[in-house]
Structure 1
């Protein structure tokens, strides 16, 4: 039975609203304490670094340098130095390509224009990269994530009491890596996706309640925009199709509904496509194609036949449940949904399973440098519902011991996450080199333990793009190989490969995909590994 939304949750019980305020203040305080918008020199990147360079690049390229094709990089204007301000791929046709889609630039845009207008007042150049631009990007992440929490609060209050809602909000805000990616690396896409997907869930619920033309247009446009920010988030379509579907009969009824309302389906599809038109035109101008897999320019690919599911969830390198154990409670809550909130069960379960499968099939299943498996942050607003069910079971349990034990567990997981966040900031949790040994060496420590930096294992990105997964120690573990004669060293590395059946299977699949002789492929990998192990 659906609980009707309160007309004014704040008046009924201000606790959830005060919780949102506390989250916003703590996030803002962290931002000002860290002030990661400050640029004291050309090498200070602020928040415009790594992936954000590409996400943000559309704005200064278009509105400051007047050339989204980036041809001005070949003959830059006077005084311009491309010290990683733009990070395009160079295509075979000679054009520069921004590999990420432009969705985040659209979300950044209002804050970019505010920074651009105010830059002269603060004595900064209107170059798109000064401290004021960085500051407004940080503020943009704060605004979107707080809006996401406001929407999530209102959604949770439909189904849970204010206390349950407040505790669930705190668990998501501070018991996950959303906190880190809304503050320390604020311009990364995850806080924005968190907002968009929560907004989509709310919109879908309202659309199913009243599927009129206006709501259809908005739902389609929002769905399109979610995919424009991160194309793999098209998986939220499970929410649209399966919301409130609990049985096979209801599923067939839902299909008939879409057939009977086919004109609405077409309107939604048109709104979805309309959002993508600027991206299609950009790809056409740069590549000659309206549709283009831009990550292919960087040799990125999915290996759907061989997903790294266990590594994605449980590995010491980046395992989701290892570095965000609060989500174990959320996953457990999915299995309570059929009795408590059955309309959520199928869409949440299938969204999560498909998300795990797709994310773990990406060639870099660990998603480069980052804190935990950051790709899952996007659906934390969805996972808050089953998490809320668990919180409710705990706090409303008739046995006092269960209530206190459960609340203690939630508190421990929240504090553990904050400690992990501190450790990541202090490089006690490494951005990409973690393994079992260094994890337990640094477990709950506030300083990097002796020998930590020599025991990290760094992935070979060149081989990983080929679906071959090798890591190298950062210490002198390969000294014996380096001291061998070159030919002996190469033969020794090749023998290591032949003793590793998992690695051999990966090489065999690579050879089959590229129609390469297996022996030649083994030799190529051995050569690559030998050079990396001996620092050549």
Structure 2
């Protein structure tokens, strides 16, 4: 099938990009945010103290003696203890990979089993790659329920190769966004299947994957709108019918809620264990400002504009009209989820999200955007022209992802002058 071929092509290109970059040299993999996501694992399994995630700072001189001190978001606590400001969802996703790397390092005479030598760094990159590829596989399964295989193939190519998911499942696979893409693809798939079948395992999946997404990044709670609005009509009879359907499956809803709370409670248990408080706001000095969102900057600025660096995201909105005909159940979720995600993302005061390519928090939205993109591909009259545009966007995205990895695109300081002056440069 065409979609299967495209899936494996995307997986191969992602793998090639990740291994070509070789980010596990010099402790680069566990710098900055990725280090903050990761330190839960060596703290728990090697150093035996969840309140001492500063092991990275102590080992940094061994691996990068000339580099500046790591900025991994450690929050000091009383009693010379520390806490990562990042929640533990990504560490949970990476745990089996970490344990495999630890076994590798312990059996090796070449690497130290300290949590930060090459096996650990390499496996974290491979884990992110795997999460991104698995997310694409689940997305393929979802799309094939509604679209013919050729349309699914082009949609997978667009999402997997034409958006900044490509960057965050390869060059930046140590970040949290590939696994968030996986959680959201799985959440959407389980939502669809639950309303189709009414079966308890899919309700459980909704609670599990939404809980994992929230545990990875708390703002992902907004994606709870997907199972709430899937297939919903705002007409009064339809609302009554939906309420009745939910009531008939109240046991399944309680199961989903229990799983969600059980997963999210892992963070509160950790906070209480290391700080004595059940709830801790660890992002000191950082917050949302919903009255002053940075929508123009976030969407079209040369600094980080989502639509500028990922134009395929804008193109996909052109399929919303046909989505209502192809997948009526997805119409309201898309209309609600897309503006909510954009608004919440760019209401964060640090709207550029530090070192990043395009708008990295919106990688989570791509399973939703894949539906209108598929509808656009299925109904476009100028099909050859549209596919040509998608190929151009894919080439642009792969090229600029390469430039970002090579530091030609600045991680947070791009301007229009820099953009055009360096457009064809491979390296600085």
Mapped partners of 1:361, 1:407: distance in 2: 34
Q: Is the 8 A contact 1:312 1:366 kept in 2?
A: yes
Mapped partners of 2:46, 2:71: distance in 1: 13
| Aligned counterpart for 2:191 among listed residues 175, 184, 204 | 204
| Aligned counterpart for 2:36 among listed residues 54, 58, 63 | 54
Distance 1:320 1:85, change over 3 A: closer
Q: Pairwise mapping of residues 380-459 of structure 1 onto structure 2 (< 5 A)?
A: 380-394=366-380, 397=381, 402-446=382-426
Partner of 1:184: 171
Q: Is the 8 A contact 1:85 1:129 kept in 2?
A: no
- Secondary structure at the counterpart of residue 90 of structure 1: strand
What RMSD over aligned residues (CA atoms) do the two structures have, in Å? 2.4
Partner of 1:67: 49
Q: Which runs of 5+ in 1 are unaligned?
A: 1-13, 39-43, 449-536
**Structure 1, 112-121 or 364-373: larger mean CA deviation:** 112-121
Distance 1:388 1:67, change over 3 A: same
Distance 1:230 1:72, change over 3 A: closer
Distance 1:113 1:85, change over 3 A: farther
Give 1:72 shift. Answer: 7.7
Mapped partners of 2:144, 2:156: distance in 1: 11
Mapped partners of 2:235, 2:401: distance in 1: 43
Give 1:261 shift. Answer: 3.5
Q: Can you list the C-alpha shifts for 1:444-486, whole angstroms capped at 9, x where unaligned?
A: 44465xxxxxxxxxxxxxxxxxxxxxxxxxxxxxxxxxxxxxx
Whose radius of gyration is greater, 1 or 2? 1
**Are 2:342 and 1:362 equivalent residues in the alignment?**
no
Give 1:71 shift. Answer: 7.8
Partner of 2:365: 379
Give 1:429 shift. Answer: 1.8
Q: Is the 8 A contact 1:246 1:345 kept in 2?
A: no
Mapped partners of 1:146, 1:71: distance in 2: 30
Mapped partners of 1:304, 1:92: distance in 2: 33
Distance 1:46 1:266, change over 3 A: same
**Structure 1, 177-186 or 280-289: larger mean CA deviation:** 280-289
Q: TM-score, normalised by structure 2?
A: 0.92
Q: Which has the higher contact order (CA 8 A, sep 6+)?
A: 2
Q: Is the 8 A contact 1:242 1:251 kept in 2?
A: no
Q: Which runs of 5+ in 2 are unaligned?
A: none
**Are 2:23 and 1:16 equivalent residues in the alignment?**
no
Give 1:317 shift. Answer: 1.0
Q: TM-score, normalised by structure 1?
A: 0.74
Mapped partners of 1:393, 1:170: distance in 2: 17
Partner of 1:271: 259
- Secondary structure at the counterpart of residue 144 of structure 2: helix
- Secondary structure at the counterpart of residue 158 of structure 1: coil
Give 1:92 shift. Answer: 6.2
Distance 1:446 1:37, change over 3 A: closer
Q: Is the 8 A contact 2:33 2:72 kept in 1?
A: no
Give 1:329 shift. Answer: 1.3
Mapped partners of 1:72, 1:370: distance in 2: 24
Give 1:87 shift. Answer: 4.7
Q: Pairwise mapping of residues 18-167 of structure 1 onto structure 2 (< 5 A)?
A: 18-38=5-25, 44-70=26-52, 84=70, 87-91=73-77, 95-122=81-108, 123-167=110-154
**Structure 1, 181-190 or 208-217: larger mean CA deviation:** 208-217
Q: Is the 8 A contact 1:295 1:301 kept in 2?
A: yes
Partner of 1:515: none
